[in-house]
């Protein structure tokens, strides 16, 4: 089986290779193709004890991989994903290019892998903040039906990319020689600005939480509002999620349902100060949920604190898991 990673030298692409190796794709049963922009062609990447030579995206298309994991930006995905799919390759794309496209499944595998049909050659990976929240609330929605979500996110600089990490690290060192990717300093600061501002005052990152959550849960009746905050953190994204259900619930049942949700780990022992944090989630594939408590200000309402490594489950791991489920179906 041939598997291509497009954007293999980037932050998420590098993590995809790590996840592939961890999940057993480093054996001789699999040919791993690493593709990137022209400036990276010819470089080598260490994978499973061997050196892989970076090829151009055009060369990767000619090699006709079975699957292509994309993390190279929306414009690259729009240009090259159809070229791969024309060769019979199943593309799993991590950019925003295809998420809202009619007929393109938007997939969190534990939640809606059944939406992928044999004819789907392009599959969209949701936004990182959407993935972790939807996984945490999916079973609660099935049982109690969500009416409204109020979301506040505290998003790691890793969600912006390597240059954002470099900005944070440079500011920590008081080194003024760096490329500024944020409008303000991020060290010892935070700002309510993720993505681009829209005409209605919301940002593109906030709008993704609205549109993608409804599509994945296949319920466009859910009222959703969000505020995205960028914080000086590297380990992962955190979210405060307030949920109003159509039906009432017992707190013990909610906790048990969360514990039974595949891919979710409950960390909720307030007597011992146990709750999810980015420093704990970093490098892990699970979504962590804690601070589980009833909202006494509104009927049938609940508060959750949800944390995950946005480069792992929020991007690379989710894409690899989609591919694994499709391989199982074959």
CA distance 305 to 147: 18
Predicted local distance difference test score (pLDDT) of residue 295: 98
* Averaged pLDDT score across all residues of the chain: 97
Distance of CA 293 to the CA centre of its chain: 25
Whole-number percent of the chain with pLDDT over 70: 100
- What ranges do the domains of the chain cover? 2-126+315-329, 129-310
Model confidence pLDDT, tens digit, residues 231-240? 999 999 999 9
Pair of tokens at residue 291:
């601070």
Model confidence pLDDT, tens digit, residues 41-90? 999 999 999 999 999 999 999 999 999 999 999 999 999 999 999 999 99
Q: Yes or no: say if 150 and 222 are a contact pair by the CB < 8 Å rule.
A: no
Of residues 76, 64, 70, 74, the one with CA closest to residue 101:
74
CA distance 122 to 92: 6
Active site residue 187: no
Residue of 128, 141, 174, 193 with catalytic role: 128
Ramachandran category for residue 263: left, alpha or beta (phi over 0 → left; psi -120 to 50 → alpha): left
CATH code, 2-126+315-329: 3.40.50.720
Distance of CA 236 to the CA centre of its chain: 10
* Residue 281 C-beta-side C-alpha neighbours within 13 Å: 34
What's the whole-number mean pLDDT along residues 196-205? 97
Report residue 119's pLDDT band, with 50, 70 and 90 as the boundaries.
Answer: very high
User: How crowded is residue 230: how many other Cβ atoms within 10 Å of its Cβ?
Assistant: 24
**Fold annotation for 129-310:** Dihydrodipicolinate Reductase; domain 2 (3.30.360)
Active site residue 282: no
Model confidence pLDDT, tens digit, residues 7-25? 999 999 999 999 999 999 9
Q: Yes or no: say if 10 and 77 are a contact pair by the CB < 8 Å rule.
A: no
Residue of 174, 187, 193, 237 with catalytic role: 237
What does the DSSP assignment read for 70-108? E-S-HHHHHHHHHHHHHTTPEEEE-SSSSTT-TT--B--
Predicted local distance difference test score (pLDDT) of residue 330: 83
- Across the beta sheet with 122-124, the strand order is 31-35, 2-6, 67-70, 90-93, 122-124
Pair of tokens at residue 275:
């709750």
């Amino acid at each position: 089986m041939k598997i291509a990673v497009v954007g293999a030298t980037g932050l998420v692409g590098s993590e995809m290779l790590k996840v592939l190796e961890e999940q057993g794709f480093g054996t001789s049963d699999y040919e791993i193709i690493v593709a990137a922009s022209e400036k990276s062609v010819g470089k080598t990447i260490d994978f499973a004890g061997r050196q892989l030579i970076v090829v151009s995206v055009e060369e990767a298309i000619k090699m006709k991989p079975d699957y292509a994991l994309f993390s190279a930006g929306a414009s690259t995905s729009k240009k090259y994903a159809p070229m791969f799919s024309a060769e019979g390759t199943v593309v799993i794309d991590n950019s925003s290019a295809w998420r809202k496209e009619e007929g393109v499944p938007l997939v969190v595998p534990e939640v809606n892998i059944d939406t992928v049909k044999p004819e789907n050659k392009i599959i969209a990976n949701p936004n990182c903040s959407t993935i972790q929240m939807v996984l945490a609330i999916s079973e609660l929605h099935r049982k109690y039906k969500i009416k409204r979500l109020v979301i506040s996110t505290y998003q790691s600089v890793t969600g912006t990319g390597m240059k954002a990490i470099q900005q944070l690290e440079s500011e920590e060192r008081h080194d003024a020689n760096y490329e500024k990717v944020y409008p303000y300093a991020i060290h010892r600061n935070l700002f309510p600005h993720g993505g681009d501002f829209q005409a209605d005052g919301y940002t593109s990152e906030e709008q993704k939480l609205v549109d993608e959550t409804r599509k994945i849960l296949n319920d466009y009746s859910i009222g959703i509002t969000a505020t995205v905050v960028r914080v000086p953190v590297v380990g992962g994204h955190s979210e405060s999620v307030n949920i109003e259900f159509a039906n009432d619930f017992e707190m013990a049942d909610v906790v048990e349902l969360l514990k039974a949700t595949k891919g979710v780990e409950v960390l909720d022992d307030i007597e011992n100060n146990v709750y999810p944090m980015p420093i704990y989630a970093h490098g892990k594939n699970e979504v962590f949920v804690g601070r589980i408590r009833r909202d006494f200000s509104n009927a049938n309402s609940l508060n959750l604190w949800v944390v995950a490594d946005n480069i792992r489950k929020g991007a690379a791991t989710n894409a690899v898991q989609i591919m694994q489920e499709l391989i199982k179906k074959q």
